[in-house]
Amino acid sequence: MLAKLFLASLRANLGRTVLALAGIALGVALGLAVHVINQSAIGEMQQAARTLSGDADLSIRAGRVNASGFDENLLEIVAANERVQMASPVIEADAAYRKDVPNTSTGAALQPMQGRQTIKFIGVDIFRAALLQPGFAGEMYPSDDRFAMLRGDHVLLNQAARAVIGGGGADENTPRKFSVTVGGASHSLTVAGKAELAGYAGPLAIIDIAGAQTLFNQLGQVSRIDIRLIPGTNSADVARALASQLPAGVTASTPEQADKQSAAVSRAYRINLTVLSLVALFTGGFLVFSTQSLSVLRRRAQFALYRTLGVTRGELMRALIAEGAVLGCIGGIIGTALGLWLATFALAKFGGDLGSGFFAGTAPVAQWTWPTLAFFTSLGIAAGVAGAAIPARAAVNEAPARAIKASDGEGATSALPPTWTGFALIVLSGVLLLLPAFDDIPWLAYLAIAALLLGVLALSPIASTRIIAIIPKPKNFIAQLSLNHIEKSPGPSAAGITGVVASFSLMIAMLIMVVSFRSSLEQWLIGVLNQDLYVRQGNGGSGGGDSNALNTSTGAALQALAGVAQADFLRYRSIVLDSTKPEQPPVTLITRPLRENVLQSLSVLKRAAADTNRDKLPDIWISEAVADLYGYTPGQTISLPLDGTTHPVFVAGIWRDYARSFGAMVIDREVYLKWTADDKINDVSLKLSTDANKANVIAAVRNLPIEAKLDIADAAEIRKFSLQAFDRSFAVTYALEIAAIFVGLAGISATFSAQAWSRRREFGMLRHLGVSRREIATLLGAEGALLGALGAGIGLLLGMAIALILIFVVNRESFHWSMELHIPWVTMAVLSVALVVLTSISAVLSGKFAMSKQVIAAVKEDA
């Protein structure tokens, strides 16, 4: 019977019910969509990696995909292990296929990757590799004999690769010859057949391993060794046993560990985004809270009647909680359906990247499981129940005799938690912030933010009352009434203000964090990009790749150009610092000339004490991530694993690096060249002489008599591209913030809509006393503005506090980089004024019932 009554109430208040449903549905949809997109992208990456490794039980590798390889002689050691059934060496590298697109650019620089597409090359011993991945055997074209693949210049292409080189992927139209550019040189290859690997969608070429070593200039090297073990062998045991035989920087990892490593690269970003998307759900919960609070207030006489008729407190409590649960469940189901649609749409439209760059190039389809859907639907139910619980408690605690006679909100039991809980939550937040992160994710910092938010929200009503009490009484009578109402009836107003404080504070926090990050990044880019021009081929292999690296003769040619005062050569290597942690992504070793002005450009944060004994060791400069993840400190001597040998180096200082959250280290190129024979160049920075003409130098670079097609950019262009990429990666967060603000405004709207009804007798009396409709509108507008101003004020302070946690704790623990605090005062002021105006307008529009003729008749209603 009660269920019927309560469901009828939801139907009767359809507008508010729909609003609460929309809040929950939006939150669930955003949370689920972000989760599905991220999981799909990760799944796609892991599936691709597993496809290329086939049924391998273990892989031995030096760093990530595209990493520099290791000595192929390791194959013999590995194969000699009695538990290894078969070992298959692999070269994995990317090469650029370049159409002959005429260069129409007349500006100073080329657009990156113009007219260029990348094909992934897998160099294998086909007969061995086919045992692990039968797809490698492929299907030869009739014109080629079965041994054609043993020739180093013959390849098998999958459909995506065939589409890249022309003919739309159809066999009959596919050209039999094509060229790729590697290390600045062009190489002609013959298509011998096709190889389709289910699970790998990108352009892929299979080539004989010897051919790959030649093509990628990696003679005597392999990228990894895929191993099949004797059946029944524990792969983790073998990995541990092999670890002692592997040279420094080379690790043996199981497919599960490889999965963890690929997921770890984007883990912090994904978790941050998911937490942010749940903010919308959080504010959705507040919308339920505000609508339920007012709904309870409105029906207090009705509840008192139920209690008088014999309904127990428990039954009333359960019915009200069930009301919230029904709202949450419906909202959760709608949100889940919407979230899946959003994820499918976003994956089809934008890929799995969401602008972050972590999954660039993947084209995943939405991957989800029923438990995931059930989890997000249950989050909706939890938000509904949480939103209904506090008002329900207030309803059951109300004395029926008083409630049944009381009018409007007069004497209503506050639906808000007691003040001490607010202080307790703030103290808890402070304690949580003192504790370190675990599992490399700032879970406790997120909890601290939640505790701080809830604590301040619990204190908002009393804070509002205290603030209003010190505001000088205005002369305007209507303004006086507004102040009096909010000061003396904090309960109903607080229900509306909580949504505004929650959404606005989170918006301000994100704004300060993003502005601080962007300003710090811009300053960093200005420091790092302190040369006139930058030259590279393709992506330059900044992740540690070699296929686009330039050789020293190209470097020398650039150095010798007229107008070039100085050319610095940069080389990137991907290395594993701690081979006992194969799931830890490798760090990037950057080699470059280390002059004092270069160090200045590195944004050095901390140096070793000048009197530290260096033992004449070469300096290495580590990024904050290396310091955090490996515990290295300036002044310490560490071992640098390089091509199977470890070199002692002196940690000269810590520098800021916004490019690589898993760490980067810089050493002098001269030192590096003494240790290795690797003289490749990934990037060249050019300092022009004072009288040089930049356009002439660019033209000279383009006219160099080399095969490599070089990309040239000046510092301003790279800065622009970098900041554009930053803005893209935060586009999703802006969308989530706007959603949260709309939810907050919807809360205000619900508050005033409900108050217009519950205060109808008050407005009716005022109309009798000679208050005009316009003055009632002014009264509502003033109350809305006052609530907006209080919400903005409290939200600003809370937002700044949350921003400090995001900047100095969450970011540091998630991405291992620091930033300077930049507070956008003007933007914050504009947003605050906009919020006050919007809440005022929302109050007037939502409270139009207060101006209707019905309120005049309401004075006759028996309270």
Partner 1 sequence: MLEIRTLTKRFGDTPSTAPVFENLDFVLNTGEYCALMGESGAGKSTLLNIIAGLEPTTSGTITLEGQALDANIDDAVTLFRREKLGFIFQAFHLLPYLNVFENIALPLRLNRWTEEKISARVTEMLASVGLGDKRASLPRELSGGEMQRVAIARALAHRPRLLLADEPTGNLDPDTALQVLELLRSEIRRNNTTAIIVTHSEIAARTADRAVMLTRAGLKPRLFS
CB of 762 to partner 1, least distance (A): 6
Q: Is 60 helix (H, G, I), strand (E, B) or coil?
A: strand
CB of 291 to partner 1, least distance (A): 22
Structure token digits, residue 441 = 């994710």
CB of 401 to partner 1, least distance (A): 14
What is the per-residue DSSP string for 660-671?
-TT-EEEEEHHH
Q: Smallest Cα–Cα separation from 124: which of 86, 175, 80, 166?
A: 86
Query: Do 521 and 658 touch, CB atoms closer than 8 A?
Result: yes
Contact residue for partner 1 among 194, 767, 812, 816 (CB under 8 A): 767
Q: What gap in Å lies between CA 52 and CA 135, rounded to an integer?
A: 9
How many residues of this chain interact with partner 1, rule: CB under 8 A?
30
Q: Smallest Cα–Cα separation from 503: which of 466, 457, 462?
A: 457
Question: What residues have CB less than 8 Å from 625, skipping those under 6 apart?
Answer: 587, 657, 660, 661, 662, 663, 664, 815, 816, 817
Judged by CB, which is closer to partner 1: 489, or 722?
A: 489
CA distances from 709 to 117, 567, 706 (A): 13, 18, 8
CB of 457 to partner 1, least distance (A): 22
CB of 484 to partner 1, least distance (A): 5
Contact residue for partner 1 among 107, 241, 768, 854 (CB under 8 A): 768
Judged by CB, which is closer to partner 1: 257, or 489?
A: 489
Query: Do 393 and 366 touch, CB atoms closer than 8 A?
Result: no
Judged by CB, which is closer to partner 1: 568, or 783?
A: 783
First to last CA, the chain: 26
CB of 455 to partner 1, least distance (A): 27
**Which of these ranges, 144-152, 658-666, 758-766, 837-845, lies near partner 1 under the rule CB under 8 A?**
758-766
Judged by CB, which is closer to partner 1: 256, or 861?
A: 861
Contact residue for partner 1 among 144, 153, 315, 487 (CB under 8 A): 487
Cβ–Cβ contacts within 10 Å for residue 420, how many?
A: 10
CB of 336 to partner 1, least distance (A): 43
Q: Smallest Cα–Cα separation from 285: which of 642, 26, 629, 573?
A: 26
The mark string for 383-422 relative to partner 1 (x by CB under 8 A, - otherwise) is ------------------------xxxxx-----------
CB of 394 to partner 1, least distance (A): 17
Strands 645-655 and 619-623: parallel
Structure token digits, residue 600 = 């200045």
**Which of these ranges, 494-502, 523-531, 698-706, 762-770, lies near partner 1 under the rule CB under 8 A?**
762-770
Cβ–Cβ contacts within 10 Å for residue 711, how many?
A: 21
> Per CB under 8 A, does 646 bind partner 1?
no
Q: Smallest Cα–Cα separation from 189: which of 161, 221, 226, 219?
A: 161
CB of 497 to partner 1, least distance (A): 16
Contact residue for partner 1 among 725, 771, 841, 845 (CB under 8 A): 771
Judged by CB, which is closer to partner 1: 59, or 758?
A: 758
**Which of these ranges, 5-13, 251-259, 480-488, 551-559, lies near partner 1 under the rule CB under 8 A?**
480-488
Question: What residues have CB less than 8 Å from 677, skipping those under 6 apart?
Answer: none
Contact residue for partner 1 among 302, 761, 823, 824 (CB under 8 A): 761
Contact residue for partner 1 among 240, 488, 595, 720 (CB under 8 A): 488
Question: What are the two backbone dihedrals, phi and then psi, of residue 222, each rounded to the nearest 5 degrees?
Answer: -135, 155
The mark string for 597-636 relative to partner 1 (x by CB under 8 A, - otherwise) is ----------------------------------------
Query: Do 145 and 182 touch, CB atoms closer than 8 A?
Result: no
Contact residue for partner 1 among 186, 480, 645, 854 (CB under 8 A): 480
67, exposed or middle or buried, with CB in 10 Å at 0-12, 13-18, 19+? buried
Contact residue for partner 1 among 348, 365, 431, 863 (CB under 8 A): 863
CA gyration radius, the chain: 33
> Per CB under 8 A, does 862 bind partner 1?
yes
Q: What gap in Å lies between CA 748 and CA 633, rounded to an integer?
A: 51
Judged by CB, which is closer to partner 1: 745, or 776?
A: 776
CB of 772 to partner 1, least distance (A): 4
Judged by CB, which is closer to partner 1: 126, or 858?
A: 858
CB of 845 to partner 1, least distance (A): 20
Question: What are the two backbone dihedrals, phi and then psi, of residue 147, each rounded to the nearest 5 degrees?
Answer: -100, 5
625, exposed or middle or buried, with CB in 10 Å at 0-12, 13-18, 19+? buried
Q: Smallest Cα–Cα separation from 641: which of 691, 575, 581?
A: 575
The mark string for 714-753 relative to partner 1 (x by CB under 8 A, - otherwise) is ----------------------------------------
Place of tokens 């529009």: 845
Judged by CB, which is closer to partner 1: 280, or 479?
A: 479
Query: Do 366 and 344 touch, CB atoms closer than 8 A?
Result: yes
> Per CB under 8 A, does 848 bind partner 1?
no
Q: What gap in Å lies between CA 755 and CA 409, rounded to an integer?
A: 9
Q: What gap in Å lies between CA 333 and CA 28, rounded to an integer?
A: 9
- DSSP label at residue 220: T
> Per CB under 8 A, does 484 bind partner 1?
yes
Question: What residues have CB less than 8 Å from 89, skipping those under 6 apart?
Answer: 72, 75, 124, 125, 209, 222, 224, 225
CB of 778 to partner 1, least distance (A): 13
CB of 304 to partner 1, least distance (A): 16
Cβ–Cβ contacts within 10 Å for residue 82, how many?
A: 8
In 496-563, the DSSP E strands lie at 533-536
Judged by CB, which is closer to partner 1: 348, or 863?
A: 863
**Which of these ranges, 159-167, 650-658, 768-776, 778-786, lies near partner 1 under the rule CB under 8 A?**
768-776
Judged by CB, which is closer to partner 1: 160, or 483?
A: 483
Contact residue for partner 1 among 489, 531, 539, 840 (CB under 8 A): 489
CB of 856 to partner 1, least distance (A): 5
Judged by CB, which is closer to partner 1: 176, or 853?
A: 853
Contact residue for partner 1 among 764, 788, 795, 799 (CB under 8 A): 764
- DSSP label at residue 836: H
Q: What gap in Å lies between CA 728 and CA 731, rounded to an integer?
A: 5
> Per CB under 8 A, does 859 bind partner 1?
yes
Q: Is 573 helix (H, G, I), strand (E, B) or coil?
A: strand
- Per CB under 8 A, contacts with partner 1 among 458-477 are 477
Judged by CB, which is closer to partner 1: 522, or 775?
A: 775
Judged by CB, which is closer to partner 1: 22, or 481?
A: 481
CB of 849 to partner 1, least distance (A): 17
Place of tokens 């002098």: 668
Place of tokens 């033209």: 699
Judged by CB, which is closer to partner 1: 61, or 767?
A: 767
Cα 228 from chain centroid (whole Å): 36
CB of 293 to partner 1, least distance (A): 17
Q: What gap in Å lies between CA 268 and CA 445, rounded to an integer?
A: 13
CB of 745 to partner 1, least distance (A): 25
CB of 475 to partner 1, least distance (A): 9
Contact residue for partner 1 among 172, 613, 770, 825 (CB under 8 A): 770
Structure token digits, residue 367 = 């991957």
Which chain residues interact with partner 1 by CB under 8 A? 407-411, 477, 480-481, 484-485, 487-489, 761-762, 764-765, 767-773, 856, 859-863
